[in-house]
Amino acid sequence: MSIATNNIAFNVEKIRKDFPILNREVNGYPLVYLDNAATSQTPKQVMDAIVDYYSNYNANIHRGVHSLSQEATDKYEVARKKIQQHFNAKKAHEIIFTSGTTHGINLVANGFASFLEAGDEILVSALEHHSNIVPWQMLCEKTGAILKVIPMSEEGELIYETFEELLSKKTKMVFLNHVSNALGTINPIKKIIDKAHEKGAAVLIDGAQAAPHIKADVQALDVDFYVVSAHKMCGPTGVGVLYGKEEWLDKLPPYQGGGEMIATVSFEKTTYAGLPHKFEAGTPNICGGIAFGAALDYMNNIGFEAIARYEEELLDYATLKLQEIEGMKIYGTSKEKTAVISFNIEGLHPYDIGTLVDKMGVAVRTGHHCAQPIMDFYKIPGTVRASFSFYNNKQEVERFIEAVKKAKTMLS
């Protein structure tokens, strides 16, 4: 399939050649990898950036006067600027390197312990990953703040009218995902951000599931915090980014103490470095940051609009084919969603389906997807989740459908 873009022609078969893992077999079958919402695969171009770092300029950054250190520092800071430009942050120092989305959320939650008092309210959506629930529960236990939940509908959409009712002068913060990892629902975050700001509340958006599909403009969104993980975006594990408005990052206290995040240290008093170093204690994942920049280069060269259009075609095709299977129930039927399908087949446990399709070379995710409140809402133990990326093709969708059909026959 070829889709014209402003950058290059989108050719899925050409793109697939960039991903060596797609050539392997699993249990004697060619791999069909449909667990992209958990982690995406990595193209050769990103692997090359990793090998280049360790082969040619592996050194610690920011502190050394020698050439390798300066070269590594330059490449790391260039990656920060690439990320700034990708998300359209106003300033490069508003981009804080983290170990991933979970780290970024915990950093902000820890900082807000300094601002909240007993009786203050914070709002979370019913669609959240555990990483965007548990840190806020811990914050409430520490401060006496009250956690309130924005409910969801049967279709997997947030009930906006109830969100408006929950907002009050007591609301200090609102946090939700841009896209649900379990259902693929795209939330109306701009509308929610604007409404929250009317009450003076700060907003954190978990962008981990959105970032592989949607190019978020943090200035246009006017969001206070936006967090992502590189491994969802063709990058390596163990690295991510917290975007924060400068005024908020200046207010938040440091999350960790150590080297790099200080200006001066004595046994009497320590003063902290400015942004972004204030939040980047210790030796960072230097190679990971550089590789994240390379991953963004790769995806932007393909074009996010082309990626979104192509993935929507895969989603529509797979949804249509799955609905032909008797007993099929799809969860998450939002009008706006990314390429994720969560489903069950009547009378069958999702784990059993996932195990059997793996025997046929098809990788899907089963369980509650770290979103147990969603499963509790539907009164189910979990789902089978197939999540698609721009390097998947329709032949893989057909293999997936056939594997599900065979699993159903074997389990019935």
358-393 pLDDT, tens per residue?
A: 999 999 999 999 999 999 999 999 999 999 999 999
pLDDT of residue 340: 98
Instruction: Encode pLDDT of 111-146 as tens digits.
Output: 999 999 999 999 999 999 999 999 999 999 999 999
Confidence band, pLDDT 50/70/90 cuts, at residue 107: very high
Ordered by where they begin, the domains of the chain are 2-42+303-411 (3.90.1150.10), 48-300 (3.40.640.10)
Residues marked active site are found at 370
Percentage of the chain with pLDDT > 90? 90
Label residue 265 by pLDDT band (50, 70, 90).
low
Q: What is the DSSP string of 255-286?
A: SS-SSSSEEEE-SS-EEE--TTGGG--SS--H
Show contacts of 326-333: CB within 8 Å, 24+ apart: 327/408, 331/156, 331/182, 331/183, 331/374, 331/378, 331/380, 331/383, 332/155, 332/156, 332/180, 332/182, 332/183, 332/184, 332/185, 333/155, 333/156
Confidence of residue 88 (pLDDT cuts 50, 70, 90): very high
Cβ-in-10-Å burial (0-12, 13-18, 19+) of 56 comes to: exposed
Average pLDDT, the chain: 94
Taking 90 as the threshold, does the pLDDT of residue 8 lie above it?
no
User: Are 214 and 243 within 8 A, CB to CB?
Assistant: no
Helix (H) or strand (E) holding 163: helix 160-166
Is the pLDDT score of 261 beyond 70? no
> What is the radius of gyration, based on Cα positions, of the chain?
22
pLDDT band at 5 (very low <50, low <70, confident <90, very high): very low
pLDDT tens track for 108-119: 999 999 999 999
Predicted confidence band at 7 (pLDDT cuts at 50, 70, 90)?
very low
Lowest mean pLDDT among 36-45, 143-152, 265-274, 395-404: 265-274
**Encoded tokens for 295:** 């991953």
Q: Provide the 3-class DSSP secondary structure of residue 170.
A: coil
Rounded to an integer, the average pLDDT of 72-82 is: 97
Has residue 259 got a pLDDT over 80?
Answer: no
Q: How far are the Cα atoms of 105, 108, 124, 272 from residue 145, in angstroms, in the given order?
A: 17, 15, 13, 28
Q: Nearest to residue 36, comparing CAs of 170, 198, 213? A: 213
Q: What are phi and psi of 94, to 5 degrees?
A: -85, -5
Calpha distance 267→104 (Å, rounded)? 29
pLDDT band at residue 272 using 50, 70 and 90 as cut-offs = low
